[in-house]
Amino acid sequence: MAAVLVAEPSMAAGLEKRSMMQKREMLARELAWSSLPEHVQEDLAKRDPREYDLNWEMYLRDDDEESNGLVARQDGGQPGLGAKHCKDGQVAYTVDDGPYHWTGKIAQTFADAGHKISYFINVQNWDCAYSLTYVKQLRKAIRLGHDICSHSATHPHLNTLTLDQVKQQFKIVEQYTYKTLGLIPNCARPPYGETSPEINAWLRSQGYRVIQWSVDSGDADGDTAQQSVEIIKQQVSKNSGKIILGHETHQPTVDTVIPGMIKYFDSIGVKSVGMGQCLKRKPYKVKLNQFPALNPNLNCVNQNVPLPGKN
């Protein structure tokens, strides 16, 4: 009589669970791949998978920070939608609108003090990011452990654009970061914090986490450096989880606000972290293990980047 093997209920349940996990992983990998621009897919297809890190794990998460509608901005401005605090009470200092003259200096200042920062970059705002000087500064920032995020291509008011124009703004950033830095961010901040459920739904479908802020240093609104430092001191405490907004295009921020803020952080035992650590997820959709070769022929003109504020 032939023997019949019957799996124990616990074994069958374990196999079913493993099969479901494998299916989820396969779907997550497909979603991660499909969120990449076609030119990136083509490049990665030619590479050994060991040459890059495809962040499919983020599609296994069930984040809900944007599920409850628009969040009123603390400065009274137009409502924004997205993460405003770090997980586990960590603090994150972020700078917008670069790269610019002091990108590398800021990176070194934070690294020397044992802190991390996140850059929310444009491609053409205060200057063209394709400048080799800026590319090298951003590469330095990455080597020092800082994070790079998207702030749109030219810093327009997204709510004045069609959705197709909004898509193009972020696709231009993806083209820039992949060609020059070998990565594509999955953290994005709409200029002025202005967004909408429709814009955020598209960003989320592309794997982006939308990042707002909980403390505005005021450096872009005419506050003095001393006032900015005081704002940070008043609103940031240990385990407060604050995301702080600054701008790397203002020299007083570089020379006075950042050193003063770091001194304050150290006095209360707080470390600024990058957005990846702040939100407990990798900050990139994909990242090559090595920077791509520097291409001195790339510029905003031949890459069809619109003028600042344009689309």
pLDDT tens by residue, 98-125: 999 999 999 999 999 999 999 999 999 9
- Site of tokens 């080799």: 132
Does 298 map to a domain? Answer: no
| Per-residue pLDDT band at 70 (split at 50, 70, 90) | very low
Q: Is the pTM value of this prediction over 0.85?
A: yes
139 vs 281, higher pLDDT: 139
68 vs 252, higher pLDDT: 252
- Using alpha carbons, select from 233, 270, 227 the residue that is nearest to residue 250: 227
What is the per-residue pLDDT for 11? 54
pLDDT value at 223 more than 60: yes
Task: Evaluate whether 311 touches 161 at the Cβ level (below 8 Å).
Answer: yes
Length of the chain measured in residues: 311
What is the per-residue pLDDT for 20? 78
What is the pairing mode between strands 187-188 and 209-210?
parallel
| Per-residue pLDDT band at 88 (split at 50, 70, 90) | confident
DSSP state of 9: H
Does 276 map to a domain? Answer: yes
pLDDT value at 255 more than 70: yes
Name the β-bridge partners of 85.
242
Quick: pLDDT tens for 2-40: 444 444 556 555 556 667 778 889 999 999 999 999 999
What is the per-residue pLDDT for 63? 55
Does 137 map to a domain? Answer: yes
Domain that holds residue 138: 30-61+79-288
Domain count, the chain: 1
Does 72 map to a domain? Answer: no
Cis check: omega of the bond before 9, within 30 degrees of 0: no
Does 14 map to a domain? Answer: no
Does 172 map to a domain? Answer: yes
What is the per-residue pLDDT for 197? 87
Does 183 map to a domain? Answer: yes
Does 177 map to a domain? Answer: yes
Q: Residue 271's domain is classified under what CATH number?
A: 3.20.20.370
